[in-house]
A and B are shown apart, each in its own frame.
Chain A
């Protein structure tokens, strides 16, 4: 089955710096890669996603890149702000729309003012 590895497990940056979180997946059939943000005590919420036919996607300060050959994808957050502090999860879905999401173990991002 699919396995998703996520690094680092914790990340601390200064406000205004960039943050990068990396994930690798094992199943080459995976075709959908979302990123979720979970603030303390709250539910995970989708912040950006990418499909296997796209190499990069941006949404304001957030971007995701996908390398299908290497089977890894990354989340990039630029100009970090204290409200970006949260746990971020990457995930991969195989088997098209019928597959389930397999998550990485999460990255705790701390942005220091």
Chain B
């Protein structure tokens, strides 16, 4: 059974640009959550999608957005990138009814 897959693994972007990250959940998992991981701040919740609808949202500015497709794959978009957006972005999937969340390897975003 394939795990959660995130692409790309690494990205370097310039301030002001936008970026799109992708997450393919485990087959059968309908919930995808996104987290930002930075040193000292741990894992900060961005948002969760379930059956193509945003079900929960964290305290991030509107520059951070996401969506989910009918095959449960999810994308996260960050517009007008800032230096402080440099982080490891992790997604996690679960079936929706169960509680265990499985993480992807993450996308390392560097903003220069």
B43 within 8 A of A: yes
Of residues 1 through 41 on chain A, the ones whose CB sits less than 8 Å from some CB of chain B are 1, 6, 32, 34, 36
Of residues 66 through 103 on chain A, the ones whose CB sits less than 8 Å from some CB of chain B are 89, 91, 93, 97-103
- Number of chain A residues close to chain B: CB under 8 A: 25
Chain B residue numbers with a CB within 8 Å of A97 are 96-99
Interface residues on B, range: 20 to 34
Q: How far is the CA of A9 from the CA of B36 in the complex (A)?
A: 18
Q: How far is the CA of A106 from the CA of B44 in the complex (A)?
A: 11
Chain B residue numbers with a CB within 8 Å of A44 are 43, 90, 103
Is there contact, CB below 8 Å, between B33 and A101?
yes
Binary per-residue interface labels of chain B (34-46) against chain A in the complex, 1 for a CB within 8 Å, 0 otherwise: 0100001111110
Which residues of A approach B to under 8 Å, CB–CB? 1, 6, 32, 34, 36, 42-46, 49, 51, 89, 91, 93, 97-106
A-B contact pairs, 24 of them (CB 8 A): A32-B99, A34-B100, A43-B104, A44-B43, A44-B103, A45-B103, A46-B100, A46-B102, A49-B100, A89-B43, A91-B43, A97-B96, A97-B97, A97-B98, A98-B55, A100-B48, A100-B58, A101-B33, A102-B45, A103-B43, A104-B42, A105-B41, A106-B42, A106-B43
Which residues of B approach A to under 8 Å, CB–CB? 4, 33, 35, 40-45, 48, 50, 55-56, 58-59, 90, 92, 96-106
